[in-house]
């Protein structure tokens, strides 16, 4: 009797446990459609862009220096002044150079007098030589003295020309017409031109035409060509888009910590002159465009399910490896809900704008929903399942 009671009690407990298990599962059951975040596929236009940062610069920036040393005596221009070609920018103190010029002019007079004396001496010695009152050596000496005096005169004349040139260099003139964008000296400052030419001013030749020097990654440089239109923004005018055009892709690479970039020069029209030298430009170029194509959100391409693999159905089962990439296009996977199952679909991908990607081929169509993520419900259920005690 006791054995029968134990058997019936065991059966009751087993049945109760099974009933409780199924009741628990029914209570925690979440429909498949509610376990995932879905987004509908659409057809539309897609533009692929490449971006980079650059610096706005004048097309022509002239450094104005000095060829002589001296102290700044007068300063005629300042920042933002508009100057014409040949206009005086500053004057250096020329007292020492003026004194040097006077000294060398006096040397010219001495050399001239010496030449006259040597010329007369050579004529007198030649006359005596012809009368056989002077030797050949005396004549040769007189001739040589005259040549030396002439050379000395030429040397002093050249020195005077040099002094006059240096004196003229104390007046610094603008080599081009433009705008003074930088000034490096003040009145009373001494500039030294002994080692290298010091920069006194920087003059932008024409601020209505600017250029952007932008550094693009080597992965993007193959799609950039001269003549391509460019859009860019600057921090000073965040709500305004500016236009430009690629002028040149420089072949010289820049290597910074093994990262290779190339300098792209972009022409920019600046008729309002609101773009200033040194501004940072955020550049964007359209390198590819597609019209009316099937596009998928990039979140769908990144999604990887956390469910058991037995619940997945692979649409491409049985295909040979590499069949989906014979065209050389990149292949990816998206997940869809079909017939109550989560199904993986392999697709060939085209261009991307970093938010959406072109679907070139695959068992997908516009209007179909793809999975972009899991809801908190399915994540919570998965966590509960992992913490659930085993019944058997």
The pLDDT, as a whole number, for residue 328 is 43
Strand partners, 42: 295
The pLDDT, as a whole number, for residue 376 is 60
Average pLDDT over residues 61-72: 93
The pLDDT, as a whole number, for residue 3 is 64
pLDDT digits (tens, 9 = 90+) for 79-121: 999 999 999 999 999 999 999 999 999 999 999 999 999 999 9
Higher pLDDT, 337 or 384: 337
Please, what is the average pLDDT of the chain?
84
Torsion angle of the four alpha carbons 137, 140, 144, 150, in this order, in degrees rounded to the nearest 10: 140
Of 32-41, 88-97, 350-359, the poorest mean pLDDT is in 32-41
Average pLDDT over residues 181-209: 89
In this predicted structure, the answer to whether residue 144 has a pLDDT above a threshold of 50 is yes
Higher pLDDT, 377 or 261: 261
pLDDT digits (tens, 9 = 90+) for 205-258: 989 999 999 999 999 999 999 999 999 999 999 999 999 999 999 999 999 999
38 pLDDT band (50/70/90 cuts)?
confident
Of 146-160, 263-277, 310-324, 374-388, the poorest mean pLDDT is in 310-324
Domains of the chain: 50-59+210-289 (2.40.30.170), 61-203 (2.40.50.100)
In this predicted structure, the answer to whether residue 153 has a pLDDT above a threshold of 80 is yes
Sheet holding 70-75, edge to edge: 171-173, 88-92, 70-75, 190-191
320 pLDDT band (50/70/90 cuts)?
very low
74 pLDDT band (50/70/90 cuts)?
very high
Choose among 305, 374, 353: nearest CA to 333.
Answer: 305
Choose among 287, 285, 295: nearest CA to 350.
Answer: 295
% of the chain surpassing 90 pLDDT: 55
Average pLDDT over residues 14-26: 63
In this predicted structure, the answer to whether residue 317 has a pLDDT above a threshold of 80 is no
The pLDDT, as a whole number, for residue 322 is 44
Please name the residues in contact with 268: beta carbons below 8 A apart, sequence gap of 6 or more. Answer: 56, 209, 210, 211, 212, 232, 242, 243, 244, 275
How far is Cα 180 from Cα 320, in angstroms, rounded to an integer?
69
Higher pLDDT, 257 or 377: 257
The beta-carbon contacts of 246-255 under 8 Å, at least 24 apart in sequence, are: 246/285, 247/211, 249/221, 249/224, 249/225, 253/218, 254/215
């Amino acid at each position: 009797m006791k054995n029968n009671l134990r058997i019936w009690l065991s059966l009751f407990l087993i049945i109760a446990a099974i009933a409780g298990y199924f009741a628990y599962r029914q209570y925690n059951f979440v429909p498949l459609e509610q376990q995932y975040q879905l987004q509908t596929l659409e057809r539309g236009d897609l533009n692929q862009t490449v971006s980079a940062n650059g610096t706005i610069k004048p097309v022509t920036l002239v450094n104005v220096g000095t060829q002589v040393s001296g102290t700044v005596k007068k300063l005629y221009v300042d920042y933002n002044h508009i100057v014409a070609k040949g206009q005086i920018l500053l004057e250096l103190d020329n007292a020492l150079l003026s004194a040097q010029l006077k000294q060398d002019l006096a040397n010219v007079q001495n050399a001239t007098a010496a030449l006259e004396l040597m010329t007369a001496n050579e004529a007198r010695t030649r006359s005596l030589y012809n009368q056989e009152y002077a030797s050949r050596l005396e004549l040769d000496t007189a001739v040589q003295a005259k040549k030396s005096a002439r050379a000395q005169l030429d040397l002093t004349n050249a020195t005077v020309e040099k002094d006059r040139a240096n004196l003229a260099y104390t007046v610094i003139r603008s080599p081009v017409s433009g705008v003074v964008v930088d000034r490096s000296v003040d009145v009373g400052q001494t500039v030294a031109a002994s080692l290298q030419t010091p920069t006194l001013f920087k003059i932008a030749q024409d601020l209505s035409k600017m250029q952007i020097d932008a550094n693009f990654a080597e992965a993007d440089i193959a799609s950039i060509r001269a003549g391509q239109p460019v859009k860019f923004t600057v921090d000073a005018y965040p709500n305004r888009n500016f236009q430009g055009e690629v002028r040149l892709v420089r072949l010289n690479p820049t290597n910074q910590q093994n990262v290779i970039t190339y300098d792209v020069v972009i022409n920019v029209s600046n008729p309002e002159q609101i773009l200033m030298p040194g501004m940072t430009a955020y550049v964007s170029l359209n390198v590819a465009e597609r019209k009316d194509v099937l596009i998928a959100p990039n979140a769908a391409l990144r999604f990887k399910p956390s469910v058991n693999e037995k619940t997945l159905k692979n649409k491409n089962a049985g295909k040979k490896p590499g069949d989906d990439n014979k065209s050389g296009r990149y292949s990816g996977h998206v997940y869809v809900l079909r017939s109550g199952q989560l199904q993986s679909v392999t697709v060939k991908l085209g261009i991307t704008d970093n938010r959406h990607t072109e679907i070139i081929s695959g068992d997908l169509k516009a209007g179909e929903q793809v999975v972009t993520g899991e809801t908190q419900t399915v994540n919570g259920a998965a966590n509960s399942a992992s913490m659930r005690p085993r019944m058997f």
